[in-house]
Chain A
Amino acid sequence: MANFELTRYITIGRYVPRDSFIHRLDPRIKLLCFVLWVFAVSAFSSIIIQFVLLLLTTVLFLLAKLPLGYALSGVRPAVPLIGIMLIFEILFARSGPDATVLVHAGWLRVTTGGIALALLSVTRFLSIVWLVSLLTLSTSLSNLTHALEQVLSPLRFARIPVGDIVMMLTIALRFVPLLGEEAERLMKAQAARGADFGTARWWQIIRRTKSVFPILIPLFVGALHRGETLVMAMEVRGYRPGQKRTSYVSLEGRKTDAISLVASVIVVGFFAWCTWGWHLR
């Protein structure tokens, strides 16, 4: 926390306007496709399918005319942790009796199963990073929330307050950069008063926790008070929860949108058939 540049970490809402078919896609369709693809990445455990998915997502990313490095820059700080996790998986995997043991020294046991597992994790991880970046870099936050509202709207019949949920999400997204600036200001202000994060001995959990009070308490309490002002601002502008509201934004689907959705369904369906279909026969 030395350079006090907290806002730098706030990567949400980093919409990069480009002229690509992915940018032009109806956000509702984009969202549905995103869900389908994430499902595919999470559900199928065949390493081959995962490789193909990674390849496809990379191609999509390039089609969106977005710089690959931009998505990677978000992952870079995580690389050491990913490494640790991989080692952990390789070492502590529960593998079946048929696994080939490569190394066995004391409690240490490296099996082919463990390595395959680690490889699978990495491919999945990268695919998801690509997909998430693809969605967020090519769609503005506002479009995303409106798409979500419409995609979720069937849930209204189950008496789920979709309007409220989307309103909460919008406000939350609106507040994140604001609170980031606030947190940054607090860090500077408290550092100026001699706050030093982490001078207590390493085992003094309570003291170390208390050393973050100067930032976290005003951050939380200030944010909640700000929320109370916002309640008033919303109310004088006539907001009443649960009421019927018209919408400023209207989304219109086009032919490319339908094609994209159908294509996604076919691809994911094919993989599903590959995975589960074989076993059914």
Chain B
Amino acid sequence: MESPKRQDTSNIQSVAPVQQSVVAKSRSRTRSLVITAVLAAISILLSLTPLGYIPVPTAAGNATILQVPTILAAVLEGPLAGGFVGLVFGASSFLHASNVWFKDPLVSVIPRILIGVISYFVYALLARGKNRSWRLVSLLVTGFVGSAVNTILVLGAVYLFFPVTFASLATISLVQGLPEAVVSAILTTAIVAAYLGIVRSNRKSRIS
């Protein structure tokens, strides 16, 4: 296959390197725009349907996974994307919430933007190396922290703006927040691994 002709052609290709970099740049921006939009769409979908709630034992009877798209946006596309999906998540929980507290934008919106931003920095700090197992661990931690941020900030805002006792909020944050963080960690990891194709190299299927 390596005929001399073929090598010639590779020279011709260097005609448009500048244009290629322009195209590549604008493509990666379009791409991150669309991926962010898709995650925002999932965020809205989860908040509208029962899909966003997983029946595990918590104070509310189920753990919400509404924060997961925000965390994913932060991990996949960076802090601004995370912030945007967080904003959409917050706005949609403000617009559709059944919870009286969330009808206050300071409680429902601002903390959610911060989930995206903080998750990004957690992941960026941890996932420096390329090692697969380490990336999986970083994802677990990010998923956990992102969800914990959600619980702590939202309840913190509730404490600031609503006259509710501290002890009761602290109890909620443990009973509700801990299982939620576990669920969120597992899901974040599983989804990113499936999307980017991160598999532990020696894994065998159950039937092997």
- Give me the interface of A with B, judged by CB distance under 8 Å: 1, 6, 9-12, 38, 41-42, 74-75, 77-78, 81-82, 85-86, 88-89, 92-95, 113, 117, 121-122, 124-125, 128, 132, 164-165, 167-176, 178-180, 183, 197-198, 202-203, 205-206, 208-210, 212-213, 215-217, 219-221, 223-224, 226-228, 230-231, 234-235, 239-242
Question: What CA separation (Å) do A202 and B179 show in the bound complex?
Answer: 12
- Complex interface: stretch among B11-19, B110-118, B148-156, B162-170: B162-170
Inter-chain residue pair count (beta carbon < 8 A) = 192
B17-74 contacts to A, CB under 8 A, are 26-27, 29-31, 33-42, 44-45, 48-51, 54-57, 60, 63, 65, 69, 72
- A122: which B residues are within 8 A, CB to CB? 100
CB nearest to A131 among chain B residues: B95
CB < 8 Å neighbour of B48 from A11, A89, A121 = A11
CB nearest to B26 among chain A residues: A240
**Is B182 in contact with chain A by the CB < 8 A criterion?**
yes
CB nearest to A207 among chain B residues: B56
Question: What CA separation (Å) do A261 and B34 show in the bound complex?
Answer: 35
Question: What CA separation (Å) do A167 and B41 show in the bound complex?
Answer: 13
Most A CB within 10 A of own CB, among B39, B45, B183: B45
Q: How many whole Å from A204's CB to the nearest CB in chain B?
A: 8
Q: Say whether chain B's binding surface is mostly helix, strand, loop, or mixed.
A: helix
- B88: which A residues are within 8 A, CB to CB? 169, 172
Number of chain B residues close to chain A: CB under 8 A: 57
| Given known A171-B37, A172-B88, contact A6–B164 (CB-CB < 8 A) | no
- A178: which B residues are within 8 A, CB to CB? 41
CB nearest to A225 among chain B residues: B195
Q: Are A179 and B100 in contact (CB under 8 A)?
A: no
CB nearest to B55 among chain A residues: A198
Most B CB within 10 A of own CB, among A1, A86, A227: A227
| Given known A12-B48, A203-B57, contact A219–B42 (CB-CB < 8 A) | yes
